[in-house]
Amino acid sequence: MCAKMKFKMAAIKTEPEEFEETNLKRPHGLVDNTYDSDDEDIKEIKPKIEKIDYSEKSRHCPYLDTINRTVLDFDFEKLCCVSLSHLNVYACLVCGKYFQGRGQNSHAYTHSVHIGHHVYLNLHTLKFYCLPDNYEIIDSSLEDIKYVLQPSFSKEHIKVLDTAGKVSRALNGSTYIPGVVGLNNIKANDYLNVVLHAMAFIPPIRNYFLRDENYQDTKRPPGDTLFPLGEFLKIYYQTVFIS
């Protein structure tokens, strides 16, 4: 009896039987990574952050129809209406007011967020911007505003100023004859306006100041009125001819 039991115990395998790995068929293109080593570097998949392409948006600004040309007046001093600073001043092309800067803490940025006016013109660089998105606007339909702010005169144009007699149109739609316009009377300064009118009709003085190249490299002391006189005469004789 004991001999039979020993024989049966010896016949039983004490080690587990080794199983062969079966080759499972997988669909084409699928990879089974079950047996990949843990030592391999696992590449983390980072989501892509899409950047806004402002180069395209700058040519298709959705706020150009909010520009109100009837309120634009570049004759007054270029000062921020809040800080009274003349540095880095922008004109709001919706309401016509001047504001400083275009950064997030600037008066122009605050105006764009609180009031909802989005199109601005840098009065120094003559570049247009959309705020608060802060991208440059490139559109040929705005060239008339740039010309009114900073008109330019060629030598040929200056020669025919006294004989042209063409009617021009302002941004607000009113018509005028270049050189035959009134001046703003600020705090009873009409006596000075008379002097400016007279100087504007003296050809040597007028022709000299209508060309920036005649005096732009001139060194002048603080408070000198050389450049403002040139700006005045260019605005006085600016011509936006009616076609």
Q: Two tokens at 106? A: 């600037």
- CA 177 – CA 180 distance, rounded (Å): 5
What pLDDT is recorded for position 41?
46
β-strands 128-130, 135-137 pairing: antiparallel
Q: Distance (Å, rounded) from C-alpha 99 to C-alpha 92?
A: 7
Helix (H, G, I), strand (E, B) or coil at 176: strand
Give the pLDDT score at 240. 52
Query: Which string of b and e fits 137-173 if b means at least 16 CB within 10 Å?
Result: beeeebeebeebbebebeeeebeebeeeeeebebbee
Give the residues across from 72 on adjacent strands: none
User: Which residue is associated with the tokens 């921020």?
Assistant: 80
135-142 LR contacts (CB < 8 Å, sep 24+): 135/54, 135/57, 135/58, 136/54, 136/58, 137/58, 137/61, 137/64, 138/58, 138/59, 139/59, 139/61, 139/64, 141/64, 142/64, 142/67
CB-count burial class (<10 Å; 0-12, 13-18, 19+) for 213? exposed
pLDDT of residue 117: 96
DSSP string, 74-90: -SS----TTT---SSEE
DSSP string across 191-211: HHHHHHHHHHT-HHHHHHHT-
Residues 6+ apart with CB under 8 A from 197: 183
Q: Which of 184, 155, 181 lies closest to 170, judged by CA?
A: 181
Cis before 16 (ω within 30)? no
pLDDT of 64 reads 94
Spell out the domains of the chain, with CATH numbers in brackets. Answer: 56-146 (3.30.40.10), 152-237 (no CATH)
In the chain, alpha helices (H): 2-11, 54-57, 107-115, 143-149, 155-159, 161-164, 190-200, 203-209, 226-236
| Predicted pLDDT of residue 129 | 96
For the chain, which ranges sit under pLDDT 50?
2-16, 18-43, 49, 241-243
Dist CA 121 CA 119 (whole Å) = 7
- The position carrying tokens 């600037």 is 106
pLDDT at residue 28, as a whole number: 47
- Token pair recorded at residue 185: 């009377």
